[in-house]
Structure 1
Amino acid sequence: MTTRPTALIAEDEPLLAAALQAELTTHWPALQVAATVGDGASALAQALALQPTLCFLDIRMPGMSGLEAAQALAEDWPDGVPFPLIVFVTAYDQYALQAFEAQAVDYLLKPVDGDRLAACVARLQARLAERQAAAATVTPAAELARSVEQLRGLLAVAGSAPATAAPRLDVVTAQVGATVHLVPVDEVIYFEAADKYVRVVTAEREHLIRTPLKDLLPQLDPQRFWQVHRGTVVQARCVRSARREESGKVTLTLAGRPETLTASRLYAHLFKGM
């Protein structure tokens, strides 16, 4: 018996979300829309809870973007469950479209055109048919690895978009009450997002700052500071060993700290033997 495919729609404009759902009903009557949400964090939570067959993710949403939500899904997706096919929905942006096409990622332009959606649906149905035919030989882990490879390539291309170079950060200023602590960046072992703060961890102590991790990243030397998770950036010279787990993630031990860090599937490739 074939399981009815399900979809999650993440779109912050209710009229566009309703229009996409209506078009999907026309072009794919068997598809059940399991949930419609309006922001990236809700998309992540609902996708993990409902485990849909497909996710339609708007690129620009409040808080977490569609690309960030896809990244988080790849990091948090449970083992042994087929990873959803992802379609990005975006306003016209030539650079973004080139990035999607380079990684063979499905995308739709807003407002969604019926003919374009019909072509997208045909590709998605073909992909699902391939999955079903290969179910005996292709594991959910292999499907997830394929999706991770696409997302990794997409993140790399998106990260190379032309932008004004940010000045390199030499010192982190962390305020506690009336006192401001100046922490040399070279002493930082890792940065970790924590609620509305970022933990700045050195060998001796920890500090909290309010600057978001995504704003810190452009100010750090990428040769020295490696992002290993959407919420963690580690100084590479402080990593003493990396152990690959069956899930595809990597456990990192650190110089100067007793705790370990986890590198997600998206960043595990950074820790391959030479």
Structure 2
Amino acid sequence: MPRVISVHSYRGGTGKSNFTANLATTVAALGNRVGVVDTDVPSPGIHNLFCLEPEQMDKTLNNYLWGESSIEDAAYDLSANVGIEGAGKLFLVPSSVKADDIARILKDGYDVKLMNDGFRNLVKTLQLDYLFIDTHPGLSKETFLSIAISHVLVLILRPDKQDYQGTAVTMDVARQLKVRKMLLAINKAHSKLNLEALKQKVEETYGEMVAGIFPLSEDIVQLASEGVFCVKYPEHPVSQEFRKVAQQIIEG
């Protein structure tokens, strides 16, 4: 049974796309067929991490939403870009970075049901084991759709008061939508924090499990979105933490 994983944060700047790229790549490297859809249509960016240049993006999610192509025509096999060989595969459906396309989506919106149908078609056509949805930050009807159809919702938050409050709101919505499983991931945790105490506090506050804690890492900043971190530095503690989260998603 294929599984849908939405990766979401209440605010921008949490490192959500970076997290999605690393987690999806880690799951694919374990021999799974993985798809990623960039539904952050107003501010797309995950294609950069997978080293897919805009000029290579002949078709995008936008073309599918406007009825100009099938969704699988907008799916790019990027397995080679992230060094995945054998049974594992990684596909990306990017969103358009063209200003006119973004303006059109912002002005006219899109059919949320069509997006849902697209996810189903993608899973079936590409025979995916896992579909990762990189969502737009905040709450909107599009986000509600992604959350509602998810088997797992991963919420990214920083140790920050605004993130704490926003995450509480998102969790209330997710519970009303009866999401089957929620995982919390704390990102950009400062080295001076007591990570075990932070984990305990967050789990007690929200009543959900913290799947991983990711430090504020200069190594990640240095990579500057030019590639997937866990591919470049497989033995790094951050990459090991991604493997831990990936295991929790695979084990259900």
Say whether the fold is shared (TM-score over 0.5).
Answer: no
Would you tell me which structure has more strand in proportion to its own residues?
Answer: 1
TM-score, with length taken from structure 1: 0.36
Greater relative contact order: 1 or 2 (C-alpha under 8 angstroms, separation 6 or more)? 2
Greater Rg by CA = 1
